[in-house]
Amino acid sequence: MSLHDTTTATGTLDTETVAPGDEEYDDAARVFFGTGAPELVVRPRDADEVAAALAHAVRRGLAVSVRSGGHSLLGHGTNTGGMVIDLRHLDGIEVLDVDRRVVRVGGGATWGRVAEALDPRGWALTSGDTAGVGVGGLTLGGGFGWMVRRHGLAIDNLVAARVVTAGGRLLTASATENPQLFWALRGGGGNFGVVVSFDFVAQPVATVHRGTVTYQLDDVAELVVRWRDAMRAAPEELTSTLVLPPAVPGQIPEAMVLLCYAGQGDVAAANDAIEPLLELGTVLRASISECRYADLLEDAAAPPGLRVAGRNTLVRSVNDEVITAIDRLHRSPAPAMIALRSLGGAFSRVQREATAFAHRDAEAMVLCMAMLPESATDDDVARALQPWEPVAARGIGSYTNFQGSASAADLAAAYPPATYARLSLVKRAYDPGNVFAHNHNVLPGDGLPRPRTADRR
């Protein structure tokens, strides 16, 4: 590793870097779901160093990956032969306004660190599922979390962001400054610049009730119906995920519900809200407790020796057709985990045009995670995911942060034509050269809807 003194053919890059041959290189090239071979990993400490790194990459013609937590299913936090801008040092957490609970969070912070910092004040931000997920990547994609029904997506609590553009400018994006950029950042992914800090409005959350309820899985369709009906009647303080693991030969089939009740410490109300989830079927095990929100976010590790292929779709209604498709997927020989995440509440009260995440009428997100050998090819993945297609066909869109492919069809699913057209105009204004292409890429354009069939992979 070199500290603030990397000499190149085009001059000196004055920041911390890791290059091939350095002791830290192997770790620096690796992210949660993949390993790359970048020419250079840069670890800036402020916006000026981010701008200098971008200028260096443009001069050298290097592809740019921006890394927050490095949890992208597609390994977008690394690359081969390009530059990785690792934001790990931009991890500050600062209270800007106590009365309004406005908090500035560095783009390289992790949600576990944010939760710990806000806990002494009795505040929290709706965020990802695990502690190690980066604030930047999760927020720019939308930001599902354990309080999505109570407090919406992470972007619904965002009031401003500071962005270094491809041209090296440091801009503030908010409802009053660069409002089109602010709209695009809320769901449009990392297409528009390097976000060095986010300003959120935190919520008063002293404690939450968390739980895991494990059932004997006798009938997938019946269990999904009961879970759906329970969540339709549930208060928005309750968010839950129904998990259908792949069957294990010789073992009793099981399913589980993971839950979070965020309701200001009212134990009686929490019990009333959670009770219907204890009546979905034969309960084998149950663990429910009150805890700090920070304790809800646990660490996660990538499964060793496996290639994880993730797909998701948002469904307007968990109706009979969707349930039948899920049942058939679970019965298929592909070793896949299926999860249904409950939505509604605050998530649905945001107008679809208000942010670049447009699918506000979804009742649930259905997620499929297929586990294949590490040596599996793209063709192997395609074959394993064939049973997923009938589920995807019944969706209204997808969530980029959980999508393990980035074809033109995936972009069309993530962004309806009007949303994509608006994103392409913002892209042309702030990144006309498409420097930030290593993502679910929106091309700079004229605002016209793009072809929905050609594959840009």
pLDDT above 70: residue 11: no
Beta-carbon contacts of residue 10 (< 8 Å; ≥ 6 apart) = 56, 59, 60
454: confidence class by pLDDT, cuts 50, 70, 90: very low
What is the predicted pLDDT for the residue at 357?
Answer: 98
CB atoms within 10 A of CB 171: 16
What is the predicted pLDDT for the residue at 450?
Answer: 53
What is the predicted pLDDT for the residue at 196?
Answer: 98
Distance, CA of 409 to chain centre: 19
Can you tell me the mean pLDDT for 119-132? 94
* Half-sphere CA count of 298, side-chain side, radius 13 A: 5
What is the predicted pLDDT for the residue at 1?
Answer: 56
Beta-carbon contacts of residue 90 (< 8 Å; ≥ 6 apart) = 44, 45, 46, 50, 106, 107, 108, 109, 196, 197
197: confidence class by pLDDT, cuts 50, 70, 90: very high
6: confidence class by pLDDT, cuts 50, 70, 90: low
pLDDT above 50: residue 10: no
Q: How is the chain split among helix, strand and coil, in percent rounded to 5?
A: 30, 30, 40
In 3D space, the residue among 145, 140, 144 whose CA is nearest the CA of residue 158 turns out to be: 140
Tell me how far apart the alpha carbons of residues 449 and 451 are, in angstroms, rounded to a whole number: 7
Give the tens place of pLDDT for each residue, 349-375.
999 999 999 999 999 999 999 988 889
pLDDT above 50: residue 455: no
What is the predicted pLDDT for the residue at 4?
Answer: 43
- What angle do the packed helices 320-331 and 220-233 form, to 10 degrees? 140
More confident residue, 250 or 311: 311
What is the predicted pLDDT for the residue at 305?
Answer: 83
Residue type, 156: D
Tell me how far apart the alpha carbons of residues 37 and 449 are, in angstroms, rounded to a whole number: 35
Strands 194-201 and 102-106: antiparallel
Mean per-residue pLDDT of the chain: 93
Strands 194-201 and 208-216: unpaired
pLDDT exceeding 90 applies to what percent of the chain?
85
Give the tens place of pLDDT for each residue, 251-274.
899 999 999 999 976 899 999 999
What is the predicted pLDDT for the residue at 298?
Answer: 87
